[in-house]
Structure 1
Amino acid sequence: MKKVLVVLIIIIGSSLQAQNPGIGDAASPSVRISSGIVRGIAQDGVAVFKGIPYAAPPVGEYRWRPPQPVIPWEGIRDALAFGPDCAQGGWGTAPGTIREGSSEDCLYLNLWIPAGARPKNKLPVMVWIHGGAFVGGSGASAATSGEAFAKQGVILMTFNYRLGRLGHFAFPALSAEHPDEPKGSYAFMDMIAALQWVQDNIAAFGGDPNNVTIFGQSAGGVAVHSLLTIPQAKGLFHKAISHSGGGRDGVLTGRPMNKENADPFYPVSAETIGINFARRHGIDGTDANALAKLRSLSVEEIVDGGQESDGEGGPRTYSGPILDGKLVVETAESAYKAGRQLNVPLIIGSCSAEIGGSFVNFAGTKEELFSLFGELEDDAKAAYDPEGNKEFDEVQTLFNTDWVWAEPARFAARFFAAGDMPAYIFHYGYVPANMRERMRYGAGHGAEIPYVFNNLNSRRGADKTTKADEEVARILNTYWANFAKTGNPNGAGLPVWPNYGTAKEEILDIQPDGNIVGKPDTRKARLDVIEKASSGSNRVRIQSRGGI
């Protein structure tokens, strides 16, 4: 009788196991999460779940409110297609329209899972925050698909967050409405809600909620800095990577909610910008009735390019992230200086030639640019043009890159290193052979993304890949996966990436020809002069514009 019971137990256990295969074992894997059952698709060793809602649609009464809980569904929800991107205009969009495929109903996420993953596996999780100047972008870009990460044993999640005035907006009646709620930067609230979804649900997919790495580029890199300094984000992630996200103030990192500001970069408050926007649409007053009229505007009227008059005769401006005092309590720079950031392992870096032109100021010649440095003019010339023979376009591109991204990245890394946390700096300069004529000064803004994700056939990758392209992509994707697993990017078969420290100041240099080496930072003289200028009275004279 005892033997019969044992056999029955084995049979029943085997049957249950057959009904509950690993996430990537079945062609149509299904997983139960807090809001219902989702069904994805598995192929080539990776299970993919797309378009999973992580919050209720932020429409109607929920416009300019924190993300609300998802309404549970009955039965099985197919997770086979990306959800709509968040409402945005974008290049070439006609006035009064939004980009095709975007919508105000947009709070969806996507997952790439290694084959055979089970809840007990506790796989590392990476959460990608897309860029786009906080007015554009998507979690469904071909360049950021997660197959390569999944094949490295890492779960990748991408998601959408509210953009433009739907993502960052202030108005007096909003401040008074629901006084217990945070206000202003709804995009950051969405990011926190997505990370909370990971905490609540990722174990069902085989992920470890206690090993989450956030990473993002451009505005997504700025968001990484913000999440490192927003108290409500504490405990939701454990490692961070910022691509081209700066680290200092001055790049849309926080506008006061309701106080006018003497800072020339933020002369008016976010609420003033909101009032001016309402007046443009014939909405007077600042009470609940005016707010109701704002909520009745179409999404096309809200999006309209993301800009509005500052009310002072100045340039049209979009508020960007907002210092509301409850959610966003300070800028990243002030938090780092005071040691109030989340102390977690960090990778940070930028490309070698991010953006040229008048991105930072309107200087038209080398002489005019160097004169903006004031008493540091000779230092700037020695650092950027020691022989006096460089083209203005090259000098301006390098200056823009260092001012907005490279020096602020070093600034941030120093504080993490001082807190005895691993900090790794990268300098991405690789340019594919078939693009070197077009990218004469180095790698531009976002050039590293298809290599980090090892998606070289995406629209942002090389037109025709070479062995050098494939090797750079393999190495970078492995560095990032290793960091997600252990907090250290290094591993077998990889060039050693030195931990940054102020004594040796070593970084990982991804060179134009694809050679990758850990070495002292050869940009030191340039970054030192930028540090002096950005920390003193020269800052106002040098930066007359900016933003990503």
Structure 2
Amino acid sequence: MSVLAALAAVLMTFSPAQDPDRPIVSTSHGPARGVTDEGVSAFKGLPYAAPPVGDLRWRPPQPAASWTEVRNATTYGAICIQPPANGDPGVGPLPMSEDCLTLNVWAPTDARNLPVMVWIHGGGYNNGSGTAALYDGSALARRGVVVVTINYRLGRLGFFDHPALAAERAADQPAANYGVMDQIAALEWVRANVAAFGGDPANVTVFGESAGGVAVTQLMIAPQARGLFHRAIVQSGLGRQRSAELALDRPGRPSAQSLGRAWSRGAGLPSDVDAVALRAVQAEALLTPMPAFYSDNLIVDGRVLVEDVVEAFEAGRQAPVPLLLGTNSAEFWWIRPADAGAYGRDDDAMTEGEHDALLAAYGGPLDYDRHVVSDLIFNEPVRHLARLHARAGHPTWLYRFDVVPDSNPEPSGGATHASERPYVFETLHTVGRVMGDRDRTASRNMAGYWTDFARTGDPNSAARPSWPDFRARPDLLLEFTNGGPAPRPVPHPGRLDVIERFRARTRP
């Protein structure tokens, strides 16, 4: 593999006839021209699969067409079909289209066999893209890695099934999780092509946040993804979620096909609608009502995903790779346990005794209301996954992010969901708020830990405070604070212990 990587890397060496500011790289589909700025070459809008349009809607990704002329790879491709942006800087600019299966690559101009970091964006499997300025890979590339960001199908175009679709496909054809299939196809493209950009296909780290973090854990248990990456980073990636099954309805959990049938009925389609008519529906019509991530977009289909994440980890069936994972200190600070929706009602299954014990652990209803949703959805699940991965003998690194800029306008009392992203990418300038020296120092630290982990599977270096391996120091994490990173015990273990016992009773 090293010989192949070295030969492929030569393709990126600039010949006397080539403009070093407009480098050309030969991919498996054809040559592409990028642009170089301050020592980093960027290649944007590269197709990793065929446009999933027409008859390819709701089918596994197919190979992209090849080309012979040099392709202009200096502008992003379209973002995938999604609802209007809600102000999240991770969405990216229009246009949007079903023809959206593209990726972007940033590499140092002298890249040779460097670690590769593949970013999977969040957005509840409904929003987001790899084209947002927030996820510009230039700063990370200057640290000596090759960065890849991807688009994948979202919402009902990416996570959907219907009896009419089931009736036309072969029994062994994967279904429903088209967005996850896209992610796997992008990783296959990386394996085949990243050496031409100076990356090492034998040293690939997948990292993602929120739904992107969930995607990383799903890739860790997906049979088709095994061997396509070698390290994993999960930022606020849940862990205890329960997926819909493809065709089997369970109490309180309709199957993906039942959800698809309910949507088509609400859209006014006839009860005997066929697959041809479904594929003819305007893409924008599929956005209403927006599917719920926690109940609609998480599917165990039996082929791409054969079980839920926590079951696989508990059985030791996850990918045996180094894992870095964590949460923010005030994830869902605005959601209260009595709020409507899957997140707010996650404590409804508690017995009165469990509720009283948890209320006591919080010291009363005020802190319970403020923090229990974040603990139920993020903090206890991430501790549980870290324990399971460490128990299986794999390198495990747990963190808590609690950096809050002085200019933060939210009364969150900590770092809210998704606020760590510009610190990881060193793109603080993209979030529309004043950031100071303290924030820039925190960003340098996070980016350093992340890229060192991608390089070796261990985030530590002599230049920063030591981050303890969870295997050797159970229940000790690294906390990123306004005063700098420091190893500390997992906060509020009493609360998390009560939640863990509740989970063990309701989902043994």
TM-score normalised by length of structure 1: 0.84
Structure 2 Cα separation of the partners of residues 530 and 50 of structure 1? 44
1:19 paired to 2:5:
no
1:479 to 449, 457, 482: 449
1:123 to 95, 114, 128: 114
1:494 paired to 2:464:
yes
Range with greater deviation from structure 2 (157-166 or 415-424):
415-424
2:458 is aligned with what amino acid? N
The structural deviation recorded for 1:499 is 0.6
Contact map agreement 1:431 1:439 (CA 8 A) in 2: no
Which structure 2 residues correspond to residues 76-475 of structure 1 after superposition, within 5 A? 76-91=70-85, 100-117=94-111, 121-179=112-170, 180-250=172-242, 254-262=243-251, 264=252, 266=253, 268-286=254-272, 290-307=274-291, 319-358=296-335, 361-362=338-339, 372=350, 374-385=352-363, 388=364, 392=366, 394-435=367-408, 438-459=410-431, 463-475=433-445
Deviation readout 1:283-325 (Å, 9 max, x if unpaired): 3345xx61111111111112224249xxxxxxx9962122111
Gaps of 5+ in 2: 1-9, 88-92, 341-345
Q: Which has the larger radius of gyration?
A: 1
Structure 1 Cα separation of the partners of residues 48 and 464 of structure 2? 37
Structure 2 Cα separation of the partners of residues 371 and 48 of structure 1? 50
Range with greater deviation from structure 2 (191-200 or 69-78):
69-78
- Residue 160 to residue 378, structure 1, CA distance change in 2 (3 Å): same
- Residue 90 to residue 159, structure 1, CA distance change in 2 (3 Å): same
Give the SS at the match of 1:443: coil
The structural deviation recorded for 1:247 is 1.5
Contact map agreement 1:89 1:305 (CA 8 A) in 2: no
Give the SS at the match of 1:485: helix
Structure 1 Cα separation of the partners of residues 294 and 338 of structure 2? 16
The structural deviation recorded for 1:282 is 3.4
Contact map agreement 2:387 2:474 (CA 8 A) in 1: no
Contact map agreement 1:454 1:477 (CA 8 A) in 2: yes
**Correspondence for 2:6:** none
1:133 is aligned with what amino acid? G
Contact map agreement 1:370 1:377 (CA 8 A) in 2: no
Deviation readout 1:378-430 (Å, 9 max, x if unpaired): 43234222xx4x7x3x5323211111011111111111111211100010111
Deviation readout 1:495-529 (Å, 9 max, x if unpaired): 11111137642100112x23310122232112111
The structural deviation recorded for 1:370 is 11
TM-score normalised by length of structure 2: 0.90
Structure 2 Cα separation of the partners of residues 302 and 243 of structure 1? 29
- Residue 21 to residue 245, structure 1, CA distance change in 2 (3 Å): farther
Structure 1 Cα separation of the partners of residues 392 and 206 of structure 2? 19
- Residue 69 to residue 370, structure 1, CA distance change in 2 (3 Å): closer
Instruction: State the 4+ residue runs in structure 1 displaced beyond 6 angstroms.
Output: 368-371
The structural deviation recorded for 1:33 is 0.3
1:165 is aligned with what amino acid? R
Contact map agreement 1:90 1:305 (CA 8 A) in 2: no
Contact map agreement 2:217 2:309 (CA 8 A) in 1: yes
2:61 to 58, 63, 67: 67
1:485 is aligned with what amino acid? R
Contact map agreement 1:212 1:484 (CA 8 A) in 2: yes
Give the SS at the match of 2:413: coil
What is the percentage of aligned positions where both structures have the same residue? 40
The structural deviation recorded for 1:361 is 4.1
Contact map agreement 2:85 2:127 (CA 8 A) in 1: no
The structural deviation recorded for 1:18 is 5.6
The structural deviation recorded for 1:450 is 0.4
Contact map agreement 2:389 2:396 (CA 8 A) in 1: yes
The structural deviation recorded for 1:492 is 2.2
Structure 1 Cα separation of the partners of residues 334 and 412 of structure 2? 14
- Residue 18 to residue 149, structure 1, CA distance change in 2 (3 Å): closer
